[in-house]
Amino acid sequence: MKKQYWLLKTEPSTFSIDDLCRAKNQTTSWEGVRNYKARNFLRDGMKVGDLAFFYHSSCKVPAIVGIVQITRAGYPDPSAFNPASPYYDPKTSRDHPRWFMVDVKFKEQLDPPFPLSAIKELSHLGSLALIQKGNRLSVIPITSQQWQAILSAAKKYSA
DNA sequence: GCCAACGTTGGC
DNA sequence: GCCAACGTTGGC
């Protein structure tokens, strides 16, 4: 199966790349996604070994800050069943899970981070959901061409 | 803090 | 099934 590429958004005030680095095995479950399109990508699209950009949103400098690898494919997100969780969804149950998550492991930090403003300047990206106006998708598929273009630009980038 | 864009909800 | 109202996202 061909490797697929992704971009995962997170608010650093909730969960940052530093949090991931400090996590046990530098691995975390990507809980709390409550959007159907994103859910479908988590449940059906992501495979073990896929790579994803780790993106900080809703912060001072929105940017790709690192790379992670998928270490476990989609499985039910238990936070949906937990009334104490901010991600609790009373309309779902363990018998009929609605929300899914994957596990991701830290692979690499981008230093410096590659900011959204620079991503927008790349001409050869074609349509990338991240830079489309009003986009709110938190799990975004990336073509291998886009991946290469962003990665090589990011390696050359210095603020 | 503002506001545009989007997804979801619920009345009909 | 439609669509207005609402809540949320996220860049600026």
Give A48-98 pLDDT, tens digit per residue. 999 999 999 999 999 999 999 999 999 999 999 998 899 999 888 888 899
Cβ-based neighbour number of residue A65 at 10 Å:
24
The predicted pLDDT at position A35 comes to 94
Mark residues 4-63 of chain A whose C-beta is closer than 7 A to nucleic acid strand B.
35-37
Contact indicator for A97, A140 with CB cutoff of 8 Å: no
Kindly determine whether the C-beta of residue A136 is less than 7 Å away from any atom of nucleic acid strand B.
Answer: yes
Q: Which amino acid is at A45?
A: G
Considering the entire predicted model, what is its pTM?
Answer: 0.93
Query: How wide is the angle at C-alpha A33 spanned by C-alphas A122 and A10, nearest 5°?
Result: 45
Kindly determine whether the C-beta of residue A72 is less than 7 Å away from any atom of nucleic acid strand B.
Answer: no
The predicted pLDDT at position A1 comes to 67
Q: Looking at residues A27-42, what average pLDDT do you find?
A: 96
Distance measured from the CA of protein residue A64 to the C1' of nucleotide C10, in angstroms: 15
Q: Looking at residues A19-32, what average pLDDT do you find?
A: 97
Kindly determine whether the C-beta of residue A2 is less than 7 Å away from any atom of nucleic acid strand B.
Answer: no
Whole-angstrom distance, CA of residue A70 vs CA of residue A27: 9
Nearest to A149 by CA among A68, A56, A57, A64: A64
